[in-house]
Chain A
Amino acid sequence: MSVVASKNDTSAKWLEEFESTSANRLGAANGAVLEKQKKAITEFAESGIPDKKVEDYKYTNIRLYLNDEFSAKGIAGKLQQSHVKRLLFGGHATIVMVNGRFVKELSVLNNLPREVVVKNLFTTLKEGAAPAGVKFNELFEDSTNPLVLLNTALSQDGISITVPPGYNCVGPIHLLNISTGESKVLFNPRNVIRVGEGASFTLIETYNSFKLDEKIFTNSVTEIVVEKDATLNNYILQNEDSKASQSNVHQVSVGTNGKFNSVVVSLDGTMVRNDLNVAINGKNAEIHMHGLFAVKNGRHIDNHSLVQHNVPNCFSNELYKGIIEDGGTGVFNGKIFVKQDAQKTNAYQSNKNILLGDNSTMNTKPQLEIYADDVKCSHGTTTGRLDEDALFYLRSRGLNEGLARKVLLGAFAAQISDTINDDAFRRHVEQKIHDHIA
């Protein structure tokens, strides 16, 4: 293997790790994947870990959370069934990932439908063709995102889920991620989800930590393909602890008549950066994206989204809401891109934020880039305080100030959690939100 020269002081460390982890990386499973990993590390070396000079990371300097003290070698977490139990809900089939690795003993698989193929990605890639349709890095051929490149290069495992054509998967699958840490670690989990033609599926992802002794950084990348006439509900709850940071990229491709419904609820973790990129590649597709982020003192939550309308007659609607406590920082950057061919596009985007303290910060940037002339598009953003008149109204009915605030914030948040159509998960999320804004 040729050694790639580092042009950047934040990439040298990762070039070394690339060499020293070669036996464990996904490339060890499959030659074609190895080539993609080599290409990715070379491209990563050009940029290194992004800081504020990179436009897409203007408000989120990743170098503050990920530096040379971290290792990508990976550690196996020592978790018991009892540690996982409190994170379960609804009796759903649950795939447990500890530090980015599938742990079968902790997973709940007895109610997993036989039709749905769930495997760890390493095994899937090693087996080559099976299951049909799982393609590593298919959606990122042209990506220049440094964190995606880093994940592609260093990823050791993740999960692949394939829902066969025409299969209506009634019960959701819960992908339960837990990070544990005795030392500073960078995890690079990689997931590949494919919902076949005419199939429907609900994927719930939760991100949790367990007694972190040291800081960790999860650099997660998920590739999702929603084929023709297929539906995917993708629900995410991020609730890690104060030592955990994460970058979480979801790259989604939606086909003709496809439906993609996303709800992202981000409650805790030192730093959370989400990139939700949806490419609409088939006509009459319908996209709904909802997000709630509640940022506590000293925390930083950044939601980036991109909706690419590549073809005509599609609909997309995005609503993200933020609650920023004193000392917290929120970022929203939403872009709608409408290609010249994408006539009759309906695309809407809204970001609403409540600042709870004098030292709450919110950076918001809605963007529309439209090259078609027959479209309906709108975007808007509001940032303000909790409505004083509404607070007084509730207090005048006997609710003390804390309770009145909680009722109003709960209602603000409920507009997002109400869009989750799995009852057990919605109740779980409502409870977490309730605890969080106490």
Chain B
Amino acid sequence: MLEIKNLKVSVEGKEILKGLNLKINKGEVHAIMGPNGAGKSTLASVIAGKEDYVVTEGSILFNGKNILELSPDERAKEGIFLAFQYPIEIPGVSTINFLKTAVNEIRAYRGMEPMEAKDFLAMLKAKQKLVQIDTNLTGRSVNEGFSGGEKKRNEIFQMAMLEPTLGVLDETDSGLDIDALRIVADGVNKLRGKENAFMVITHYQRLLEYIVPDFVHVLFDGRIVKSGTKQLALELEEKGYDWIKKEVSEIA
């Protein structure tokens, strides 16, 4: 589904990703872990198409298509969703109207008719229930005045509404208390299926107790330096990142 080859990315002239390789098949959940500044959020932003990032080398194929040539909205229409680390507050834009527009834009791209109002409302209700988001929140402007936890829950809700095939969760666990974390994780688990995949970026092993990954990758200094199963996450939790850094420097 997603194939990243030798990806090199710079921001303001500084190289952040230095030849990253990663392959995600449908039905899989991949966790990306790593210390601060390793390039985790850069990876998420580049996949979503943020324009401040310059890809100097390498490729990202999504279902065989080179998405580096696509705009952010085209990537969303192809089935990629980024749950933001810091969701943006947009005063005056109603969450429901915005989602209706987004759903219908995506449908139009796929040659589908706009959704009937009653079908949309039914879907809205079902997904609200699925991710346990208060209707008070979805009735308001996008993220306006939301707490950190509410914003994250709204990201998962939007993901549920847009039904992407690849969900990229950028530190969705940061700033969440344990109850909120459980609700968010629960939402993701309900969305997991044979036809979709998730990339879960996190600092801590904690989230992975709830969203159990098929693979864990350690991102360090712009490269994936170690891959394994969920055992690797436990090991990292226990030993920290220093032993990885040491291993890397020994190889170098």
Interface residues of A (CB under 8 A from B): 387, 389-390, 392-401, 403-404, 407-408, 410-412, 414-415
* A399 touching B105 in the complex, CB below 8 Å, given contacts A392-B50, A393-B87: yes
B51 to A, closest residue via Cβ: A392
Do most interface residues of chain A lie in helix, strand or loop, or is the interface mixed? helix
* A392 touching B90 in the complex, CB below 8 Å, given contacts A398-B77, A407-B98: no
Q: Does B135 contact A (CB under 8 A)?
A: no
User: What are the interface flags for B81-116 relative to A under an 8 Å C-beta threshold, 1 for contact and 0 otherwise?
Assistant: 110100110111100001101110110010000000
Hey, which chain A residues are within 8 Å of B51, CB to CB? 392
Complex CA gap A387/B90 in Å reads 9
Complex CA gap A398/B73 in Å reads 4
Shortest B155–chain A CB gap in Å is 10
Task: From B50, B75, B90, B141, give the contact of A394 (CB < 8 A).
Answer: B90
Q: How many residues of B contact A (CB 8 A)?
A: 31
Q: Is B84's CB under 8 angstroms from A395's CB?
A: no
Q: Is A393's CB under 8 angstroms from B105's CB?
A: no
Q: Is B71's CB under 8 angstroms from A395's CB?
A: yes
Give the A-B pair count, Cβ closer than 8 A.
Answer: 74
Hey, which chain B residues are within 8 Å of A412, CB to CB? 92
**Which B residues, 60 to 88, have Cβ-Cβ distances below 8 Å to chain A?**
71-73, 75-77, 81-82, 84, 87-88
Q: Does B48 contact A (CB under 8 A)?
A: yes
Given A396-B73, A396-B75, A397-B162, 15 additional A-B pairs, CB 8 A: A393-B88, A394-B90, A394-B98, A396-B76, A397-B73, A397-B98, A398-B76, A399-B73, A400-B71, A408-B90, A411-B90, A411-B91, A411-B92, A411-B93, A414-B92
Task: From A393, A398, A401, give the contact of B90 (CB < 8 A).
Answer: A393
Shortest B97–chain A CB gap in Å is 8
Q: Is A390's CB under 8 angstroms from B101's CB?
A: no
Hey, which chain A residues are within 8 Å of B91, CB to CB? 411, 415
Complex CA gap A431/B240 in Å reads 58
Shortest A62–chain B CB gap in Å is 35
Hey, which chain B residues are within 8 Å of A397, CB to CB? 73, 76, 81, 98-99, 102, 158, 162
Q: Does B49 contact A (CB under 8 A)?
A: yes
Q: Is A398's CB under 8 angstroms from B98's CB?
A: no
* A403 touching B90 in the complex, CB below 8 Å, given contacts A396-B72, A398-B162: no
Q: Is A403's CB under 8 angstroms from B92's CB?
A: no
* A393 touching B158 in the complex, CB below 8 Å, given contacts A407-B98, A411-B90, A411-B92: no
